[in-house]
Structure 1
Amino acid sequence: MLEKEEKTKVSLKKEDKKQRLLDAAYHLFVEKGFRDTTIQNIVDYAGVAKGTFYLYFKDRYDIQEHVIAAQAYQLFQHAIEAIAIQCPDRFEDRVIMAVDHIIDELMENRDLLHLIRKNLSAGLFEPKLVRLLEAQNSEFIKVFEQDCKASNIPISNPQLMLFMIIELAGSSCYNCILHGQPMDIMEYKPYLYKAIKAILHMEEL
């Protein structure tokens, strides 16, 4: 019993150190930018030894991928919660509500948008990151797949369709929000949502 408790304590300490590193990396990437943040900066901010970093991550690029996946997951989770509260009747309206919620969060947090850049789909579909956050990632995908089956819309590959929608929204909204190109995000939204509806119904053609 005592041995089991000790193992649990050790496991919790490891997770705490890993989370501190992730939190530190996120803060520094937002504050200084990825290019100007060193591993030493991250471990100093997290208050851990440099060797501890390499127990969890290979290099700066590795921890950056973890941070992006974790932040993207939070966006998707918030979107699921928003849908659960308002619960539109139509499948396509629920999809658009999820995308709209994510866009609004990114509009309010441009630092996060700078960090994620055009990699919003990484948290759901990048193979390595999917393994890292398997339970969390599968939740959003599972909700989408269940809604696909419940709708009368013919969709042969729900995951591919979800990928297309997220890639379209993530890459195009990045430029609209940060640079106003090709237009302001609020002007762009109606065009985006028409495109998403077309994607959802493309197998009916």
Structure 2
Amino acid sequence: MKSKVQENKKQKMDRLVASASRLFTETGVEKVSVEEIARQAGVAKGTFYLYFHDKEQLRDLIISREAARLFETADECLRTSPQASFVDAVIFMIDNVLSQLEARATLLKFIRRSLTFAVFHENISGLMQEEQFALYPRFLDLAQSYGWQLKNPYKTLFLVVELASGTCYSCDRQQTLFHERHEAGPVFFHPCDSGKCKKACPASGSANLRSSFAG
């Protein structure tokens, strides 16, 4: 059972996270100051530094939590919509994550460069909530449930998430991204070098993902 002091600390931290999350998604990290985050959270500027080194650490925490929520929601949907194979299940989850980002344009803009970072960055693990969804253990369980034995599961998951992250990063205009995805069906996109969106490429995207599991 938490003491009143611990509960008070948690409430202040939660207010800082909520304040920063709103400000970051609305105006961008670069334009937000620690003073503004603290003021909107209803705490002193000095209190901010009791919890975080700087606003970049807070940004990393928020991205990590948002990414965990995206994948947790995708996993919940997968549990109610079983897929025929392990690869299909992974494709289903990633496509669900992209669909969630479609509905949250501000979050897409905020997280698009950092999805892989949020899943694999170890330096923020100490700030993660105990109940936060962990993708890697779930990925291992999912593979085992389909009878898969991956030679390097960590690398495989990294490549899968990187494909999704590349989709977000390469498409500055999320409406274009998802308009094209809806025309082509639930597939991965072929990110372009120029940062502009190309048409969805089912053969290329699916082949790229499936190749991640080969060998």
Q: Which residue of 2 aligns with 1:11?
A: 6
Residues 163/112 of structure 1: CA separation in 2 closer, same or farther (3 Å cut): same
Q: Does 1:199 align with 2:199?
A: no
What's the secondary structure of 1:48's corresponding residue?
coil
Q: How many residues align?
A: 196
Q: Which moved more, 1:46-55 or 1:191-200?
A: 191-200
Q: Does 1:175 align with 2:170?
A: yes
Q: CA deviation at 1:135?
A: 4.5
Q: Deviations over 1:95-144 (max 9, x none)?
A: 01100000001111121011112211223210112343274566321111
Q: Which residue of 1 aligns with 2:197?
A: none
C-alpha separation between the residues in 2 aligned to 1:138 and 1:162?
A: 15
Q: Does 1:54 align with 2:67?
A: no
Amino acid at match of 1:195: N
Amino acid at match of 1:127: E
Q: Which residue of 2 aligns with 1:35?
A: 30
Residues 10/61 of structure 1: CA separation in 2 closer, same or farther (3 Å cut): same
C-alpha separation between the residues in 2 aligned to 1:112 and 1:155?
A: 32
Amino acid at match of 1:60: K
Q: Which residue of 2 aligns with 1:146?
A: 141
Greater share of helix? 1
Task: Flag structure 1 segments of 5+ consecutive residues without an equivalent.
Answer: none
TM-score by length of 2: 0.82
Q: Which moved more, 1:138-147 or 1:76-85?
A: 138-147
Residues 46/139 of structure 1: CA separation in 2 closer, same or farther (3 Å cut): same
Q: Which moved more, 1:153-162 or 1:126-135?
A: 126-135
Q: Which residue of 1 aligns with 2:150?
A: 155
Q: Deviations over 1:153-193 (max 9, x none)?
A: 44111121101110111122332362658x94444352323
Q: CA deviation at 1:62?
A: 1.1
Q: Which residue of 1 aligns with 2:64?
A: 69
C-alpha separation between the residues in 2 aligned to 1:109 and 1:169?
A: 16
> Retained in 1: the 8 A contact 2:112–2:168?
no
Task: Flag structure 2 segments of 5+ consecutive residues without an equivalent.
Answer: 190-199
Q: Deviations over 1:19-72 (max 9, x none)?
A: 110110010011111111111110111111111100010111111111111111
Residues 34/164 of structure 1: CA separation in 2 closer, same or farther (3 Å cut): same
Q: Which moved more, 1:165-174 or 1:126-135?
A: 126-135
Q: Does 1:113 align with 2:108?
A: yes
Q: Which residue of 2 aligns with 1:92?
A: 87
Residues 175/113 of structure 1: CA separation in 2 closer, same or farther (3 Å cut): same
Let me know the Cα RMSD of the aligned residues: 2.2
What's the secondary structure of 2:171's corresponding residue?
helix
> Retained in 1: the 8 A contact 2:16–2:38?
yes
Residues 71/166 of structure 1: CA separation in 2 closer, same or farther (3 Å cut): same
TM-score by length of 1: 0.86
